[in-house]
Amino acid sequence: MYPGATCALTHRSPWELLVATILSAQCTDKRVNLVTPGLFAKYPTPADFAAVRPEALAQSIVGAARRVVSAFGGEVPKTMEELLTIPGAARKTANVVLGTAYGIAAGVVVDTHVSRIAQRLDLTQNSDPVKVEQDLMKIVPPDHWISFAHQIILHGRALCVARAPRCKECGLNDLCYAKDKTV
């Protein structure tokens, strides 16, 4: 249903993707994409962000920039362990950066869409994102971890929306036993 699904956040580097992903916790991806070009024109590098007073900008981004500069020489690290030491980056953000910017499948991105749809499709009985991710990692083959999340997120936006999913149009209708199905 979603061939070629990819990350909706505009970015030119792992750092830009990290910032966009942190911002996406606050608003829609569309809104993030409107804001980031101006932001990166004003602050081109992590060191530029690190020098900003946190009050003048999202605190988590300044904190992330300072960590990237002080601990990783201005380069966004490539391991889950290191990424989790960056303020504002939990497993979801780390998985987005590793998967989309570096092509490293360390886990499965679990955002609100993935969590909801994994539950609707009986791929998990959990709602805690870390547990949902563990369940998905057992079911989804590792070479699909990155694309799976992109596809499910698109599905969550297009059809399997939070309220009143559009089940009539959904190709998974025959396989889905979600309690809140609309058909």
Report the residue number, 97 or 123, with the smaller CB distance to ligand SF4. 123
For 75-107, b where at least 16 C-beta lie within 10 A, e where not — what string? ebbeebebbeebebbebbbbbbbbbbbeebbbb
Task: Mark whether 92 is an active-site residue.
Answer: yes
Asked if 176 interacts with ligand SF4 (CB under 6 A), we say yes
Asked if 172 interacts with ligand SF4 (CB under 6 A), we say yes
Which residues from 128-157 bind ligand SF4, rule CB under 6 A? none
Q: Which stretch binds ligand SF4 (CB under 6 A): 2-10, 18-26, 131-139, 165-173?
A: 165-173
The CB-of-3 to ligand SF4 minimum distance in angstroms stands at 17
The CB-of-136 to ligand SF4 minimum distance in angstroms stands at 15
Asked if 116 interacts with ligand SF4 (CB under 6 A), we say no
Choosing from 120, 136, 146, 152, the residue that interacts with ligand SF4 (CB under 6 A) is 120
Of the listed 30, 42, 111, 122, which one is catalytic? Answer: 111
Asked if 2 interacts with ligand SF4 (CB under 6 A), we say no
Binding-site ranges for ligand SF4 (CB under 6 A)? 120-121, 159-160, 165-167, 170, 172-173, 176, 178, 181
